[in-house]
Structure 1
């Protein structure tokens, strides 16, 4: 299957995957052992893969606040999905992130592993901004946010701020590897237009550059600090962590 630039989906995924581990997906005849439908990552409740990942992260981060660990995990997952989705969309395709078709595996560390059913992506038909919004924002990130909030008391707007920040970060890394100015321009346009759509539009400001309207809470991790796009100018004075 070919997109506007004439590249087959396999070549698009190869080029995008070469950017780094957050951009790589596996496309094989069937999911490798240990992979499960992506929709299971959206299941709410305390006895899920996502909940276990958050609890594991809390132990690694040495925090007793589940909302802090939940935000950190969510930010990493949002970056993983945006990296694949934006990278593929920059080449005129849409990655097949359908929760019933795509599969995932959560390794002990690093980004989650992704498997997409062949061919893994298809050429965009219609408005690429709408297609990216439907597949990634509505199809993946919205139910992921709901699942995270079923595990820990983290604000919905904070999670959408995570999604916006992850999109900007994925775009920055992608641009550092692209040599085709048309693909780079498409990636930038798609990022900007997603940021100006609900629910991302109210989570950031451009003073200066990209700045979040919420904090991801990383400063509350022992030894943590403020991210470059944080809404805060300085970390609040330390206070006793409450177990959540």
Structure 2
């Protein structure tokens, strides 16, 4: 299936998968929104100042997070989930991937969850696991991790666990949708792509993945927010009582 200008096949999968595109129907993204390339490079935005810092502050306020690094971790996982969902969803549904170059993706750091992303041009790319790894892991999550570590003391293992958890979550949702809609082809492609991606050096060792079940070897720190508990794939069975820092993985 060829990519359509609106990537309309993604919409039924939910908000983490749907992607705004610059098309006649959707219009152009607001020019004030920074690209992710500028965000990773710490280039200031005329409206948002430091976009990544602005996002961390927004997440911290929403969660009442007692430490900025907790908000940074949650913000990282939220954006990782959006990117993996779009990429895996397109590869499974279309058999192709839109070019997700950070220079083509505009992002609203002041938006609600899931992160608001605009793709300014839809250009088809291969939809195999190597292409997904290049687009998401190398194109986005490596520079995003570097930008975050430049601000907050986030362990590499925590960020690797976030990336793996986000991929597993996207795969579970896609598997659920495919089963409900009788799309065995989509389910098979999603399983094969996800299994291969988990062998990538940037994800291997981040946790245990089997079928659609995943258990990570690190913690995203969400348990440290007021009223927060452990996530379904957390390395902890229950929130730690006294450990000041979660394991890095």
How far the C-alpha of 1:234 sits from its partner, in A, is: 2.2
Higher RCO (CA < 8 A, seq sep 6+): 1
Bigger mean CA offset, 155-164 vs 176-185: 176-185
Rounded to whole Å, the distance in 2 between the matches of 1:40 and 1:31 is 18
SS at match of 2:102: coil
Rounded to whole Å, the distance in 2 between the matches of 1:137 and 1:240 is 29
* Preserved CA contact (<8 Å) 2:5 2:21: no
How far the C-alpha of 1:154 sits from its partner, in A, is: 0.8
- 1:27 pairs with 21, 27, 47, which one? 21
Deviations, residues 176-209 of structure 1 (Å, cap 9, x unaligned):
2223211211011111111111110011025894
Please report the RMSD computed on the Cα atoms of aligned residues, expressed in angstroms: 2.4
- 1:237 pairs with 236, 241, 245, which one? 241
Deviations, residues 62-113 of structure 1 (Å, cap 9, x unaligned):
2221111111111111101111010011121112210122222234422222
* Preserved CA contact (<8 Å) 1:96 1:121: yes
Instruction: Rate the CA distance shift 1:203–1:10 in 2: closer, same or farther, 3 A.
Output: same
Q: TM-score, normalised by structure 2?
A: 0.85
Residue 4 of structure 1: aligned partner:
none
Unpaired runs of 5+ residues, structure 2, are none
Consecutive aligned runs of 4 or more in structure 1 exceeding 3 Å deviation: 44-47, 206-209, 238-241
* Preserved CA contact (<8 Å) 1:45 1:150: no
Rounded to whole Å, the distance in 2 between the matches of 1:197 and 1:237 is 34
Q: TM-score, normalised by structure 1?
A: 0.86
Unpaired runs of 5+ residues, structure 1, are 1-6
Report how many aligned residue pairs link the two structures. 232
